[in-house]
């Protein structure tokens, strides 16, 4: 494919004080592509995702969204060099994010939560925002819960509201940070199903996940990170079945060693 990438990171780096948590990060995402980020805890996956929409200010390299440089206009990468919030919002407009802990407002109804980015962020008239919110809630199968408060919903339903909120702004690319890791196991599948249906509709996505079989099923590309760097990346088939680096082999081992063999058989 030789179309303009929707998202491109070139040599992106990020430090917290002396701790360089992201370094030399390169990624190019074409429209319609689904990229999964995997790696051990603390490897910088969330930081990478947050740098992609400037929720975190990267301090090395470049992030391009649909041909526009995100966060900076010049070559400087210090706090003083950053663009205005208005400019940042304009450039990252095609993106929206789904958070690990849902981050819903407890004092707002489900519908109001989904409307919030439209009304508060994009200054859209309420009637119009309500229409978009109801469409998004219908898309995730939660029309019946529009007037409920988040505390009345299961974790799986709350995350589907989180997805509806990210969908209502009509993004061209969604960033998802471990969307199912805060959920009880029996609630994971309903959320994965919604994500799968978005993928089937052609949504472009960058997703951090620990759901390896899901990543294998829906991704065009999988990126394995450790210590702030990409160690290995590629199509899911070769990457999961024939990892090249010892580090990825190690990381995947517990996954492939999982066995449902009854205990009696193991010990007999
Ligand atoms: N706001 C922050 N301030 C200081 N250090 C941070 C902050 N956020 C993340 N880190 C550090 O950055 C590293 C990467 O974290 P993170 O991106 O959350 O990893 P992952 O999502 O892969 O678990 C960790 O060492 C973490 O402690
Ligand atoms: Mg994380």
Identify the residue whose tokens are 């829906």.
Answer: 218
pLDDT value at 257 more than 80: no
Please give the mean pLDDT across all residues of the chain: 94
Q: Please, what is the end-to-end C-alpha distance for the chain in angstroms?
A: 54
Q: Measure the CA–CA gap between 161 and 137, rounded to whole angstroms.
A: 7
**Residue of 15, 20, 21 with the most ligand 1 atoms within 8 Å of its CB, for mutation:** 21
pLDDT band at 256 (very low <50, low <70, confident <90, very high): confident
Per residue in 49-61, pLDDT (tens digit) is 999 999 999 999 9
Give the confidence band of 265 by pLDDT, cuts at 50, 70, 90: low
- pLDDT higher than 80, residue 261: no
Query: DSSP label at 228?
Result: T
Closest CA to 206 of 172, 232, 157, 251: 172
**pTM metric for this prediction:** 0.94
Phi, psi of 9 (to 5 degrees): -110, 130
Q: Is the pLDDT of residue 267 over 50?
A: no
Does the pLDDT value for residue 24 go beyond 60? Answer: yes
Q: Report d(CA 54, CA 175) in Å as an integer.
A: 12
Residue 258: pLDDT band with limits 50, 70, 90 = low
> Looking at residue 70, what DSSP letter applies?
S
58 and 30 in contact (C-beta within 8 Å)? no
Within 6 A (CB) of ligand 1 lie 16, 21, 39, 41-47
Quick: pLDDT tens for 114-130: 999 999 988 999 999 99
Atom of ligand 1 nearest to the CA of 43: 22
CA of 16 to the centre of ligand 1 (A): 8
Taking residues 225-253, what's their average pLDDT? 96
Q: What is the CA radius of gyration of the chain?
A: 19
Residue 141 CB partners (closer than 8 Å, separation 6+):
160, 194
Q: Give dist(CA 114, CA 163) in Å, integer.
A: 9
247 C-alpha to center of ligand 1: Å?
20
Q: Delineate the domains of the chain, giving CATH numbers in brackets.
A: 7-94+174-267 (3.40.50.300), 103-171 (no CATH)
DSSP 217: H
Whether pLDDT at 2 is above 90: no
**21 C-alpha to ligand 1 centroid (Å):** 7
Residues with CB under 5 A from ligand 2 (ion): 45-46
Q: What is the structure's pLDDT at 109?
A: 98
Q: What is the pLDDT of residues 179-212, one digit of tens each?
A: 999 999 999 999 999 999 999 999 999 999 999 9
């Amino acid at each position: 494919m030789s179309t303009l990438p929707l998202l491109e990171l070139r040599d992106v780096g990020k430090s917290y004080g002396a701790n360089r948590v992201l370094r030399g990060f390169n990624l190019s995402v074409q429209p319609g592509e689904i990229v999964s980020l995997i790696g051990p805890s603390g490897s910088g996956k969330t930081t990478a995702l947050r740098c992609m929409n400037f929720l975190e200010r990267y301090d090395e390299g470049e992030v391009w969204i649909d041909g526009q440089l995100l966060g900076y206009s010049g070559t400087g990468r210090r706090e003083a060099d950053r663009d205005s919030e208005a400019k940042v919002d304009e450039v990252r407009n095609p993106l929206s994010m789904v958070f690990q802990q849902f981050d819903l407002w407890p004092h707002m109804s489900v519908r109001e939560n989904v409307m919030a980015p439209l009304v508060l962020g994009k200054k859209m008239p309420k009637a119009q925002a309500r229409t978009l919110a109801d469409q998004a809630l219908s898309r995730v199968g939660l029309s019946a819960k529009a007037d409920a408060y988040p505390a009345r919903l299961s974790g799986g339903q709350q995350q589907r509201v989180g997805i509806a909120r990210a969908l209502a702004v009509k993004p061209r690319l969604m960033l998802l940070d471990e969307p199912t890791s805060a959920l009880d196991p029996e609630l994971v599948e309903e959320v994965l199903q919604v994500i799968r249906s978005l993928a089937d509709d052609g949504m472009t996505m960058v997703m951090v996940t620990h759901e390896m079989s899901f990543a294998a099923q829906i991704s065009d590309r999988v990126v394995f990170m450790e210590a702030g760097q990409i160690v290995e990346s590629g199509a899911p088939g070769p990457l999961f079945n024939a990892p090249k680096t010892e580090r990825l082999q190690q990381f995947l081992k517990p996954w492939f060693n999982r066995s449902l063999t009854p205990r009696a058989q193991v010990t007999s």
